[in-house]
Structures are given as C-alpha cells and as structure tokens.
Structure 1
Amino acid sequence: MRAVFGLVLIIGVALAGGAVYLARDYIAQTQAEVERQKRAAEEALANVKSVPTVDVLVSTRALKYGERIAQEDVRVVKWPEDAIPEGTFSEMAAFFPEAAKGDRFVLRTMEKDEALMAVKVTEPGEAAGLTSRLAKGMRAFAIRVDVASGVSGFLRPSDKVDVYWTGSLSGAIAGNNGEITRLIQTNIELIAVDQTAGSDLAGATIARTVTVAATPEQIAALAQAQNTGRLSLALVGVQDETVASAVEVDQRKLLGIKETAPAAPAAVEEVCTIKTRRGAEIFDTGIVTPCTN
C-alpha cells in the first residue's frame, strides 16, 4: 500500500513539474512576442513623419439654417495643412471681428465638429434671408406648384429643376389647335420651398410655391409661361451634368400620328371635238388626235 502511495506521489510531482516547465516556457514566449511588438511599434513611430497642421475653426454643436453663431458655438482645432477646405477661418478674430456691426448667421446646416466656411455663414451683420442666397445678377421668383407639378413634395432648397410649360397655341401657330408641352428653362436652382429656405427638411413637404434664383430674362419667360399655361418641375440629379436640349411634345407626337399631305385632285381627261353641221343642226364629234387651237 505504501509502495502504491509513493508511486502516485512521484507521478504527481512529475506532472506538476512538467506543468510548471510548460507554463514557464509559454510565459517566456509571450514576453518575447510582446517585446518584439513593442520594438516594432517604436521603430514604426520613429519612422513616421510629423504632419504639419494649422488652426481651423469648427462648430461645437449642430447648427441649423438661420441660427445665430455665438463664440461658444466655435472652437479651434488642429487640421492637416494639406487637407484644409476652401474658405475656412483660422482665427477667432477673423470670424468675430471687433468692428463687426452684427452677428453671423448659418446659411447651410452644419454638424458638430464641421469646419466653418464662408459659404455656410453670413457676413457680420447680414441677415440669413433670401437676399444672402442670391448671386450677383440673380433674382428670386416664386412658382406656383401642387403635388403633381412639385415632384410630390420632394423638392428641397439648393435642388435644381427643369421647368416645362403646357398650354395651347391656338391662334398663335396656324394648324396647331391642341396643347403642347415645351421645356423652357433648365437647371434652375431652388432657394426656398414655401417659407423655408433651409435644406434640412424632413420627409416630403407638399408646397404651394417654390422660389427659384434666375436672371431677369429667365424670370420674364417664367412669368409669361405661368400666366398663359401650366408649369411643371422635373428634379435634376445631383451628379447630372447633361445639358437638356430643346424638347416639345404635342398631341400628334404623343400619339404617334403623322401628318399626311392632302390628296391631289384627279386629272380631268380633256376631250377634243369638232363641230359638224347637218342641215339646220350642229353636232359635236370627238376626235382622237391631239387637241389644237
């Protein structure tokens, strides 16, 4: 019995010693791998070149169209020098000048930590109205729309649309007594939908009017078209750079009806006769030979 106990004790001690040896070997390998990775990270960090940065002003919170921008809404961050967006501000003094006659307002919705750019904010003292959205030489013009003509309410400020006119040319063009639809303006920019000029609308909005930015000549054409027919808007894709050509569809073109020339009148065969007197009566007798004078 003692011999069996001693044998079991010896086997247990041997197994414990083997386990300790394996554990020590595993720990040594793990430490060696950690040291190798640490040296590799230090070498990679030493080889990384420092990226030059500059100061850029960013928003400290989400800003919506028309909001006043206060100093607590702006902070300075380091920005890679070769990746600065155009029109950013680098100093608080440039964004909040001491000689400013008023506050700046948001023209385009911005998210938290987004860089402040000149195109997204007004000048100091300038209101965030439609006048600030109009480029030089452009005017604002309102177009009446409904669910059908207004692209089911999916129009947003800053979208671009093509404008189609549908009306009758009866009396204006001879031979055309039906309605026609014609593309009259292309890539017209929307600057407001109803009373909203911000682009952060949620869901579809059934508008009654949309306001577009156009030249005086374009506005004259739109006003004439709106007073003489119906206007419909077609939304232009964001990445669509194609230039729409002249488009006109009337009822005949819509139904594929082709105009046919009127049939020429049938030629009347000329019959020549000679007069023959028989006593007191005169008779006409047809002849086969060609007629002469």
Structure 2
Amino acid sequence: MKNKGIYIIALLFGLLTSYFLYEFLAKVEKDTTKIEMETVVVAAQDVPTHTLLTREMVKLQKVPVGSAHPHALRQPEEAVGKITIIPLIAGEQLLQEKVAGKDNLGSGLAFKIPEGKRALSIQTSAIRGVAGFLKPGDRVDVLCVMETGETSESMVILQDIEILAAGANLDPHRESEEQDTKSENNQTLTLAVTVEEAQALFLADVRGDIRLILRGPAEEQTVEAKAFQMKDLFD
C-alpha cells in the first residue's frame, strides 16, 4: 500500500508538471504571435555589381517591425529592372542606394551607354572642322573619305550618332578637360553605336579619313546621300 501511495503521488506530480509546462509553452507561443512583422525585399541569391535584376533574383521576406532598414525596398517591382551598384549577398535587404534605374545610373561611362548600343572611342587627330566644339550629348553624322581604285569617294557612313564623352568629360554641361589643356587635334570622342555601326566606323577610321558633321538639337531626320566622287566636283 505504501508503494502504491508513492506511485499515486508521483503520478500527480507528473500531471502537474505537464500542465504547467503546457501553460508555459502556450504563453510563449502567444507572446511570439504578438510580434508585429513587416515585409521587405531581399536578394534571393548572390548578385554581382552592374547586374540587371530579374524577379528570380529577389524575394519578399518578413522581418520584425523595427528591424527593416529605413531605405529598404518593400515591393519586388521596385527592384526588378534596375541595376545593382554594389554586389548583393543572398538574404540581405535591398536598399534604394544599392540599385539604380536606367534614368538614374552612376557616373561611369558604362552607365551612360543606351540600351542596345556600344561605346566606341576615336582619336580626333584625324578629325577637323567642329571637333573642338563637340561635347557629350551632341549628335553627329560621320563622313568618310576613302580611296577606291583610282579615285576618292566621300560618303556619309553613319547618321544621328550620340557623343557619350569628349575626352574624359561625360557631363554635357562642363567643358572638356582635354579641350582646356590640349589642342583639339588630340581630343578623343566616344560615340554610342550599334555593333554594326561600330564595324563600319572602325573600318572607316582605319582605312579612310573621318569628319564629323554636327547636327542641330532638333534635327532628327536622316537623308539618303550617295557617295561623292572626285569627278563629281567638275560635273
């Protein structure tokens, strides 16, 4: 009988312990559910610098209120289509300062290149005329003179080409440093061209003599211009 009483007491203590443990865990769970959460955009994977963000590269993640960075993006649409300015680590919050839209990119030349174009630089030692007056943002036509057989031909090979940089100057509102310190014959111009235009320009630069024709700011029309030969001067 004595042993039976001990078993009953032990059973009661066990039941009481289980009850209090259950109450404690229920209270902890209840307190946990009281934590307010908010949603931020984080990197779903490691992303290198200068990468165009896609939907697969970002995801939404809930974090406790107060732990989100003040500049954190809140919706995937705020990140998709933008370009990373610095590398991103998987799981880190995406901040406004870490990405840039196409209209608000960095100051480097790579960020100034229009979509679908490439940047090609040419030495203007062979370019005279308006070379000393050209600045970033201006648009030009490219004229080339080549020896073809026993005669020379002058032809317009490219039209309405944007100048991205004059020397090291990318700012259309600032005079080129090279223009201030060097003669115009030593200036370098960087043009925005397609791959096909780059091929034509490179060939013309190597094989011919190039001139740039400055276009007016409102001039958008291109024209059909046939090659002009030496004999045409006397017709």
TM-score range, shorter-chain basis? 0.5 to 0.7
AA matched with 2:221: T
Q: Does 1:151 align with 2:130?
A: yes
Q: CA, structure 1 residues 93+150, in 2 after alignment: closer, same or farther (shift >3 Å)?
A: farther
Match of 2:95 among 92, 100, 123: 100
Task: Give the Å deviation of 1:146.
Answer: 3.7
Describe how 1:273-288 pairs up with structure 2 within 5 A: none
Aligned to 1:194: 167
**In structure 2, what is the Cα distance between the partners aligned to 1:103 and 1:153?**
38
Aligned to 1:230: 209
Superposition RMSD on alpha carbons, in Å?
3.0
Task: Give the Å deviation of 1:247.
Answer: 3.3
Q: TM-score w.r.t. structure 2 length?
A: 0.53
Aligned to 2:151: 178
**In structure 2, what is the Cα distance between the partners aligned to 1:150 and 1:208?**
13
Task: Give the Å deviation of 1:250.
Answer: 1.3
Q: CA, structure 1 residues 104+159, in 2 after alignment: closer, same or farther (shift >3 Å)?
A: farther
Task: Give the Å deviation of 1:131.
Answer: 1.1
Q: Secondary structure at the match of 2:218?
A: coil
**In structure 2, what is the Cα distance between the partners aligned to 1:128 and 1:169?**
42
Structure with greater helix percent: 2
**In structure 2, what is the Cα distance between the partners aligned to 1:133 and 1:229?**
28
Q: Secondary structure at the match of 1:226?
A: helix
Higher Cα Rg, which structure: 1
Task: Give the Å deviation of 1:246.
Answer: 2.2
Aligned to 1:209: 188
**Deviations, residues 37-93 of structure 1 (Å, cap 9, x unaligned):** xxxxxxxxxxxxxxxxxxxxxxxxxxxxxxxxxxxxxxxxxxxxxxxxxxxxxxx95
**In structure 2, what is the Cα distance between the partners aligned to 1:147 and 1:164?**
12
How many residues are aligned here?
142
Aligned to 2:31: none
Q: TM-score w.r.t. structure 1 length?
A: 0.43
AA matched with 1:100: L
**In structure 1, what is the Cα distance between the partners aligned to 2:192 and 2:205?**
16
**In structure 1, what is the Cα distance between the partners aligned to 2:118 and 2:175?**
27
Q: Secondary structure at the match of 1:252?
A: helix
Aligned to 1:252: 231
AA matched with 2:223: A
Q: Does 1:219 align with 2:198?
A: yes
Q: Secondary structure at the match of 1:254?
A: helix
Question: Is the Cα–Cα contact under 8 Å of residues 71 and 95 in structure 2 kept in the other structure?
Answer: no
AA matched with 1:211: T
Question: Is the Cα–Cα contact under 8 Å of residues 147 and 153 in structure 1 kept in the other structure?
Answer: no
**In structure 2, what is the Cα distance between the partners aligned to 1:118 and 1:218?**
23
Q: Percent identity?
A: 25
Aligned to 2:110: 131
Question: Is the Cα–Cα contact under 8 Å of residues 179 and 250 in structure 1 kept in the other structure?
Answer: yes
**In structure 2, what is the Cα distance between the partners aligned to 1:193 and 1:94?**
37
**In structure 1, what is the Cα distance between the partners aligned to 2:127 and 2:202?**
20
Aligned to 1:240: 219
Task: Give the Å deviation of 1:240.
Answer: 1.1
Aligned to 2:83: none
